[in-house]
Chains A and B, each alone.
Chain A
Amino acid sequence: MADGNPPPLRSFAQAAQAEVEVQPLRVVQIEGLVALKIIKHCKECMPALVTGQLLGLDIGSILEVTNCFPFPSRGGEDEDELDTDGANYQLEMMRCLREVNVDNNTVGWYQSTYMGSFQTVELIETFLNYQENIKRCVCIIYDPVRSGQGVLALKALKLSEDFMELYRSQSLSGEKLREKNMAWTHIFEEIPVKISNSALVSSLMTELEPEAPATQCDFDRLVLSTNPFMEKNLEFLIECMDDLSMEQQKFQYYYRNLSRQQAQQQAWLQKRRTENAARRASGEEPLPEEEPNNPVFKILPEPSRLDSYLITNQISNYCSQVNGFAGQSLSKLYLMDAFHED
């Protein structure tokens, strides 16, 4: 619908069939109400991380999120029970919503995060679960802590197609990744979020807008304290470093074993060849050079790169946070400086 040409008149069935060419998802359009609901839910349960369902419509390149509901927070006792409870709740909720004739088409889920530490295997798996049923799904991430600094830390994410393919085939070895030219940056795709309100709501908001030119949010932005946030970020970074080192050790270990094994294989082959030569000389049948049962030829499992990719993503996330934050802080400091001079 972006291209102004009205589609030719067709039957619905025709239209449904004709829509083979899938337009890439460009924008996630969130209803203001939904955004507020998400923020409210996430903020209320702050220390705990919560999730909820997103409902809405998928129109061309725009994914409209028109409604959402939170999942009951997990007590953390019996997992099985909770899981079934959660599923039941979800179904029940959907049914109820359908009954009152609200959009009940699932388009993804939202979750809160702490300092942007959301790049986990669980997220990927959940995403793939959703992806099975819904072609276009999205994950909205809200970071209450960052929002405390006067930014609306709302993000819509999806996994890239390439990555999903690779992940499904479980081939996250270095070679495959290289083949696909897949870098760590290519795992997640961030989709721009657009918040839209109905005209009615907008007019109400204008009506309600206070006289004062500055809001609380604006004041929050001017807080000069930097330490807690930086410290937290650094701590996370250090943790990430440790994780990354661990991953690296895994790889080193793997390569060490690999080279050792290769040496063994060579030795074995050498031996077998001389043996064969001897056998041939004495007129016997040469032994096969391949022996799948030989433990020397057992293929060593290559450790998955996924973890290191995710950690790298995480690191880059922290870094950008630090970067952004430092930039803001510096400008604030300069501002303060200027004030002091006056």
Chain B
Amino acid sequence: MASKFWGNSDSESDEDSQLSDHDEDEVIIGGEEAEKIADKYRIGGDSDSDESDDQRRVVRSAKDKRFDELAQTTVQIQNQININDWVQLQESFERLNKQLEKVNRLTESQVAPRVYIKGLVLLEDYLNQTLLNKEAKKKMSPSNAKALNFMKQKLKKNNQLYQADIEKFRANPVSDVESDSDDGENADDVFSDDDDDDLPEDRPEDLSDDADNPDDGGDWTSAQKKPKEMFPKLDPGQISWEMVDKKLKEIIVARGRKGTDRAEQVEQLSYLARCAKTPAQKLEVMVHVVSAQFDVNPSLSTHMPIAVWKKCVQNILVILDILAQYPNIVMDETSEPEVENETEKGADHEGPIHVWGNVVAFLERCDDELFKSLQCIDPHTKDYVERLRDEPLFMTLAQNVQQYVERLGDMRAAARVALRRVEHVYYKPQEVYEAMRKLSELQSRSGAAAEAGVEGEEEDGDVAMKGVTETKGPASFVVTPEIVPRRASFPSVNRKLMDQLVTLIYKYGDERTKARAMLCDIYQHAISDEYYTARDLLLMSHLQDSVMNMDISTQLLFNRAMAQLGLCAFRESLVMEAHNCLSELYAGGRVKELLAQGVQQSRWHEKNPEQEKLERRRQMPFHMHINLELLEAVHLVTAMLLEVPNMASSMHDMKRKVISKPFRRLLDINEKQTFTGPPENVRDHVMAATQALSKGDWEKAVEVIQSMDVWKLLGKREAILQMLRGKMQEEALRTYIFTYSPYFDSLSLDQLMTMFGLPEAQVHSIVSKMMIAEELHASWDQPTRCIVTHNVEPTRLQALASQFAEKLNVLVESNEKAFDARTGGGGLEGMGRRNRDTQDYADAAGGRRGGDFGGGRGGNKGGRGGRGGRDNFGGGRGGRDNNQGGYNNYNRGGQGGGGRGYSSGYQSTRYQDAYSSVGRTPYQTGPTAAGINRGQQAADAGGRMVSLSRMGSRF
């Protein structure tokens, strides 16, 4: 015995046993002498000793003894299972294996004894049970949990060897006297559920419960549910409604469970759909097929496989077919799927049949998946284009769904669907739309060419897939003809489609739907160069006020619409408007983020992965992008056109009014460079042009600007370049006058005309405007065609006084702000502003913008009405402004004669009024700053006054 023991211990050393040797020998060696030897080794006095004591008493043949030992261990395992002691279980398991080895040596057979198998089954079942029970797993002690993991691996490896035996045992556990009722509970359940008409022995693959076991190898477990085997012995004709129903419920129950193979479930369900007895049942099954297909992709961040998506769309179309064919079938979400047997009613049933499901939700899900897939696919690959070709398919589906819901009279849902359609159309210029239309026609033609017949026909000519569906299983019982058109009808002009959809939405949609539709509408108008329509829509809808409170995706849409509006304004040569639209986008330097066109690395604060994931989910697919380079070019060029003369005019002024901060910043950076190379990117170009323009060298500026590549992206390139040229000439003239008029006593009109290549009338009007706006202190001398300048330098004391007044202003402003913040009453503005500063992106996408566009009006309002509570303050301030103005006038009056001072003062107030009445022009961002700045702007921007009021009249 001792020698055996030693021999044993050698062989056992191969196994990575965690037991110490003396533990083993206690178990293995039954005899008394062995007991003595064992005593020497025994240190801890294990509980195992009892068991070896038991063994000692019985005298039997070696073989019996071994079997007894095995049985003993099995019982032990059972006990340990009861107390959930995995450490002990692990030991027992290893002991079991060793004992088996000995038994086999004795019996000289390779067949594992039944007792052993029983032990394995016990262990396995319990293991699965434990693994499924997450709670218990968490509560385990570390050593226990470790042992459990160890067991998990060991058992899996081990059991593979005895696969067949285990199954046999499971198939017929009763043969064992001690069979436990509670072991393999799952096994029995599933097994009995699985088949009604077949004996378990006939289908050994079907017998295991291990579909539930995620840890099992699965090579023998997952195969058993292939659809073909579902009713293997039955002719499809024999399948009854009940059977299908039962089966369906079974599959549904398994849905969402861990370890359920989703793809397979889909297959099973589609097979069932073919077997369905009544149209209603088929519909029911189809609904589940679709949901299962949505389930195929478990993660939120990845998209669903494209093939599955296509099938899914087809399935929804089939659902619609059924619904169209049998108008008495009603699909809603309220009916209980479990209780009633409504679906048993056949096709000839009169009266409504209720089936659970929601097509609109399906459609939306489909859209989301399409969107996601476009987000994920690399836009520079062919896959992306391929994917884009699926859009008409989706449009078809959407159209059909919409028709269906409209038929039902559920207009709210129809509006939702319409919005989905709108969102696929709004960003497409006419050309792109045309292309899509053509594609759709082409696809439908090729679809028609392909043979039509059984359901599940793929209309986009996916032959391979069709082949698969046809070979799979028999033709379905309920043949559904294609009733619903498989091709979307696109009106020839996208505007028409938009109008039609948007009207529907405005009529029936809820707030968010309407807002989104409105934004899409604005976007669409903007890309089709209808600036005024788009702007009016925007202003009428008051979206700019409320967009901050909307969800981020709507805010993104708003930003996109604003960007397009800006581009549109630029194309219409409305420089100021374009700049106003775009400046907010560029204010924070987070354009990419605001337009959801790529994630921007921010230097200041790291985003946590959670935020980043969220942001990635918001990204626009590539084909919907607005060209950022063009956007930047437009923004900078408009900023340049406004800022260059502005800078020239306020060169010596202490209060530097800044129109575009980002532009100024760029300019500063540019000026700091020791060496400026030839321009490369958009910024360089604009900066170079700015340099030239501020020197009055408009020709060079025009050349630089026109050499930019991005203009190629604009439709009417020539016209726009021409427009730019004109604008730059004008601004160069203004800049020149601002910069150099102090150094001249008089300027010749003819000279200016030749210098800036402008006709006389234009020069005359520009200069006159500047005079009226008090930007230029000069007067015309008609006979000599000269501008006579009246230059007055304020004395040092005067300069100081005005500087002081300004400081005082600042102080009062900030005092009021502080007061607002403290009292909270009128301070909403102040608070909002502060919040806006500190807000992080989550709210800011639109929130930041809220100040603008809306702010233009809000600011005005705030300046007048909002401050009503503290009229004395406002009045005081206004008074001060007037004083300042008066002081300037006084100065000039000394020179230019008494009348001028008065008249210019008058004009400035009038303009101010004109300004506020124009009102909509988004001029102001800071609500509190509105008061003073408005005055200043009225004065400074008066040069543009004429054009503005013209514009105002068009409102």
Contacts and interface: CB of A to CB of B under 8 A. Distances in A.
Q: Do A and B come from one complex?
A: yes
Interface of A: 227, 230-231, 234-235, 237-238, 241-242, 244-245, 248-249, 251-252, 255-256, 259
Contacts of A238: 800, 803-804, 807
Contacts of A252: 814, 817-818, 821
Which of B800, B811, B834 lies at the interface centre, i.e. has the most chain A CB atoms within 10 A of its CB? Answer: B800
Which of B801, B803, B807, B810 lies at the interface centre, i.e. has the most chain A CB atoms within 10 A of its CB? Answer: B807
A272 B815 CA distance: 37
A241 B821 contact: no
B496 interface: no
Contacts of B628: none
Given A237-B804, A245-B807, 15 more contacts: A231-B796, A231-B797, A234-B800, A235-B800, A241-B808, A241-B810, A242-B807, A244-B811, A245-B814, A248-B811, A248-B814, A249-B814, A251-B818, A255-B821, A259-B821
B807 A234 contact: no
Contacts of B105: none
List the 8 shortest-distance A-B pairs measured between CB atoms, nearest first.
A241-B807, A234-B800, A252-B818, A238-B804, A245-B811, A231-B797, A234-B804, A248-B814
Contact of B800 (A231, A251, A259): A231
Nearest to A249: B814
A323 to B, nearest CB: 14
Interface of B: 795-797, 800-801, 803-804, 807-808, 810-811, 814-815, 817-818, 821-822, 834
Contacts of A248: 811, 814-815, 818
28 contacts: A227-B795, A227-B796, A231-B797, A231-B800, A234-B800, A234-B804, A235-B800, A237-B804, A238-B803, A241-B807, A241-B808, A241-B810, A241-B811, A245-B807, A245-B810, A245-B814, A248-B811, A248-B814, A248-B815, A248-B818, A249-B814, A251-B818, A255-B818, A255-B821, A255-B822, A256-B821, A256-B834, A259-B821
A231 B821 CA distance: 36
A237 B801 CA distance: 10
A256 B822 CA distance: 9
B192 to A, nearest CB: 42
Contacts of B818: 248, 251-252, 255
Contacts of B807: 238, 241-242, 245
A238 B803 CA distance: 8
Contacts of A230: 797
B834 to A, nearest CB: 7
B418 to A, nearest CB: 42
Contacts of B795: 227
B736 to A, nearest CB: 33
A252 B808 CA distance: 17
B644 to A, nearest CB: 30
Interface residues of chain B: helix, strand, loop or mixed (majority) = helix
A256 B838 CA distance: 11
Contacts of B808: 241
A329 to B, nearest CB: 12
B313 to A, nearest CB: 47
Nearest to A235: B800
Nearest to A242: B807
Nearest to A233: B800
Contacts of B834: 256
Contacts of B803: 238
A252 B818 CA distance: 6
B821 A234 contact: no
Contacts of A227: 795-797
A56 B810 CA distance: 48
A235 to B, nearest CB: 6
Contacts of A242: 807
A224 to B, nearest CB: 14
A242 B818 CA distance: 17
Contacts of B811: 241, 244-245, 248
B831 to A, nearest CB: 9
A253 to B, nearest CB: 10
Contacts of A241: 804, 807-808, 810-811
A244 B795 CA distance: 26
Nearest to B837: A256
A251 B815 CA distance: 10
Contacts of A235: 800
Contacts of A259: 821
A148 to B, nearest CB: 19
A130 B939 CA distance: 57
Nearest to B810: A245
Nearest to A251: B818
Nearest to B818: A252
A238 B800 CA distance: 8
A234 B801 contact: yes
A242 B817 CA distance: 17
B556 to A, nearest CB: 28
A46 to B, nearest CB: 23
A241 B834 CA distance: 24
Contacts of A231: 796-797, 800
Contacts of A256: 821, 834
Contacts of B804: 234, 237-238, 241
Contacts of B800: 231, 234-235, 238
A145 B334 CA distance: 93
Nearest to B803: A238
Contacts of B822: 255
A259 B795 CA distance: 46
A145 B803 CA distance: 24
A230 B796 CA distance: 10
A292 B698 CA distance: 67
Nearest to B824: A259
A230 B797 CA distance: 7
A230 B795 CA distance: 12
